């Protein structure tokens, strides 16, 4: 039977979580600068890389960006040869964004090598049970953040008179 955390433990956790979040933003901004990207472009490139291919509309919906902002993003990433546009055969207006895996890896892998090794070393220092607890936290915290983002976006759309039905 585990006891519930007291207010001090919760506050310490919140402080550590906030520091982790801030350090993550600062690190990704530095990585982006080193790669010649903006922080946002770097993160959106990561989303494209993770999904392997997305339509411009899917990327807009996933990120909350306007279609105009997505077009600008794709233009910038395409100019750096990190993505390419593909048109569908049935509807030439529908654009699929495909990441250029080779160029992405060439650009980002050297920057991430040391980070990845240090992260693997850190993970290896935990027991399987500890890793499962940390993973559970990240999965549930991510779910909460996605839910919050969706609610904020929905409220903003309602406020702007753009109801999704």
User: Radius of gyration over alpha carbons of the chain, in Å?
Assistant: 19
What is the overall mean pLDDT for the chain?
A: 89
114, part of any domain: no
Judge if 30 and 103 occupy the same domain: yes
3-state secondary structure of 72: helix
Q: Which domain holds residue 139?
A: 126-165
* One domain, residues 99 and 131: no
pLDDT per residue as tens digits for the range 69-117:
999 999 999 999 999 998 878 877 788 999 999 999 999 999 999 999 9
What does the pLDDT read at residue 5? 85
Percent of the chain as helix, strand, coil, to the nearest 5: 70, 5, 20
Token pair, residue 63, equals 């990120």
Q: How confident is the model at residue 159 (pLDDT cuts 50, 70, 90)?
A: low
pLDDT of residue 162: 55
Please, which pLDDT band fits residue 165 given cuts at 50, 70 and 90? very low
CA distances from 9 to 4, 18, 129 (A): 10, 14, 20
The pLDDT value given to residue 114: 92
CA distance 27 to 33: 10
pLDDT tens track for 27-70: 999 999 999 999 999 999 999 999 999 998 899 888 888 889 99
Asked if residue 37 belongs to a domain, the reply is yes
| pLDDT of 18 over the 90 cut | yes
- Quick one: 30 and 55 in the same domain? yes
Q: Is the same domain home to 82 and 149?
A: no
Considering the domain architecture, whether residues 93 and 133 belong to the same structural domain is answered as no
Given a cut of 60, whether residue 127 has pLDDT beyond it is: yes
Kindly state whether residues 29 and 90 are assigned to the same domain: yes
Please tell me whether residues 48 and 85 are part of one structural domain.
yes
Task: Say which CATH number the domain at 66 has.
Answer: 1.10.10.10
**97 and 131 assigned to the same domain:** no
Same domain assignment for residues 75 and 132: no
Residue 153 lies in a domain: yes
Asked if residue 105 and residue 26 are part of one domain, the reply reads yes
Q: How far apart are CA 156 and CA 158, in angstroms?
A: 5
Same domain, 83 and 142: no
Number of domain units in the chain: 2
Does 151 share its domain with 88? no
d(CA 124, CA 117): 11
Does 8 reside within a domain?
A: no
- To 10 degrees, what angle do helices 67-79 and 56-63 make? 110
According to the model, what pLDDT value does residue 61 have?
A: 85
Q: E strand or H helix at 40, and its extent?
A: helix 39-51
Q: Are 42 and 32 in contact (CB under 8 A)?
A: yes
Look at residue 157 in the predicted model and tell me its pLDDT: 62
| Residue 160 pLDDT class (50, 70, 90 cuts) | low
């Amino acid at each position: 039977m585990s006891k519930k955390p007291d207010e001090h433990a919760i506050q310490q956790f919140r402080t550590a979580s906030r520091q982790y979040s801030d350090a993550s933003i600062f690190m990704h901004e530095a990585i982006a600068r080193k790669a010649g990207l903006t922080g946002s472009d770097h993160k959106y490139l990561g989303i494209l890389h993770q999904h392997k291919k997305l339509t411009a509309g899917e990327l807009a919906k996933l990120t909350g960006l306007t279609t105009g902002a997505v077009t600008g993003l794709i233009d910038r990433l395409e100019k750096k040869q990190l993505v390419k546009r593909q048109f569908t055969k049935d509807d030439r207006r529908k654009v699929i964004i495909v990441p250029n895996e080779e160029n992405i890896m060439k650009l980002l892998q050297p920057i991430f090598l040391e980070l990845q090794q240090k992260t693997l070393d850190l993970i290896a220092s935990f027991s399987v049970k500890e890793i499962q607890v940390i993973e559970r936290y990240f999965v549930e915290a991510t779910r909460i953040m996605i839910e919050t983002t969706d609610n904020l976006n929905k409220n903003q759309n309602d406020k702007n008179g753009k109801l999704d039905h």
